[in-house]
Amino acid sequence: GAALTAATALVAGAPSPAQAFLGFGGQTAQDRYTADTSEMISKTNALLAMPRDDPGKKDAVAEVRTLTNVWVAKYRRDDRFAGKPSYGNMYSVLNAISGHYNSFGPEAPIPKKRLERITKELSDAEKLLSRNR
């Protein structure tokens, strides 16, 4: 449902290669990266803010997992973005969250120290992104 729709929206923003080559299609690659990464930050913050017993937590974890896979696949091999500090911070956050939920399940709380590191890296990624870094 929602995860697939969000993932489709993340991928669908790209113009066709012909449109991109000819300069049509609106957003630049940097604009798309900024929008996609901002969405990931927002979804991740929303997930981290959910109470442990929230009935929607399992779906939120699944959505973030799906969006993570799409975001990483889209930007990992693109040197314009993979070398950015915002990418490194965001990747680290997504990796830590995915690893935690894969190992312990969506209901397991993230340990305090790990959560503090994740929250700081998310905040840093947001600041770096606002500076196009």
pLDDT digits (tens, 9 = 90+) for 81-108: 999 999 999 999 999 999 999 999 998 9
Query: Residue 25: how many CB atoms within 10 A of its CB?
Result: 15
C-beta separation of 59 from 28 below 8 A: no
Domains delineated in the chain: 2-9+27-130 (1.20.58.810)
pTM of structure: 0.79
Residues 6+ apart with CB under 8 A from 22: none
pLDDT digits (tens, 9 = 90+) for 44-76: 999 999 998 999 999 999 999 999 999 999 999
For residue 10, which phi and psi values (nearest 5 degrees)?
Answer: -65, -40
